[in-house]
Amino acid sequence: MGTGKVFGECYPTRTGDDFLEFIKKAVEPHRDKEIHIILDNLSTHTTPDAMKWLEENPRITFHFTPKGSSWINQIENWFGIITKQPIRRGTFSSVKVLIKQIRDYIEHWNSTAEPFVWTATAGEILAKIELVETNIKKLVANNG
């Protein structure tokens, strides 16, 4: 059952090693459970080391959103909220201060966290995806 709580880390880089370190920390408290992780198609999510680790941890499944469909991933909603509330228009004297703001916000969020709830049905979502795919195909055909 989802809680709506956020686990976050700040890294100075965005590498496959960073991703794997993050995922290991994120799943550790849930080591006896089946875990499904929704990811975008960033190349760091599919490095040989990440795929090897995934094979060694069969209770964990990666699900990748279709390219250009990051809106399907509910964490994108949370990224929008944190960007609008504590970060946008903020003045940060250093990266360290920005990271503290992010960590403080995560702590605040988690104190009253609730899962996001889809308001659209699966059929409505899939119909939108089909419409977008059709429109993209038309655009490509018209530009060919």
What the block records as the tokens of 64 is: 């990748």
Q: Please give the average per-residue pLDDT across 100-126, as a whole number.
A: 88
Looking at residue 70, what is its pLDDT?
62
pLDDT value at residue 13: 92
Contact (CB, 8 A) for 102 and 78? no
pLDDT digits (tens, 9 = 90+) for 55-69: 999 999 998 887 766
pLDDT tens-digit readout, 1-51: 678 898 999 999 999 999 999 999 999 999 889 999 888 888 999 999 999
Q: How is residue 36 written in tokens?
A: 């499904």
* Residues 6 or more apart whose Cβ sits within 8 Å of residue 88: none
The pLDDT assigned to 129 comes to 85
Query: For residue 22, what pLDDT is reported?
Result: 95
Whether the predicted pLDDT of 108 surpasses 90: yes
The pTM for the full model equals 0.71
Beta bridge partners of 35: 60
In the predicted model, what is the mean pLDDT of the chain? 88
Tokens of 74: 């509910």
Q: Looking at residues 108-115, what average pLDDT do you find?
A: 91
Write down the pLDDT at residue 39.
Answer: 87
Among candidate residues 29, 23, 35, 30, the one with its CA nearest the CA of residue 59: 35
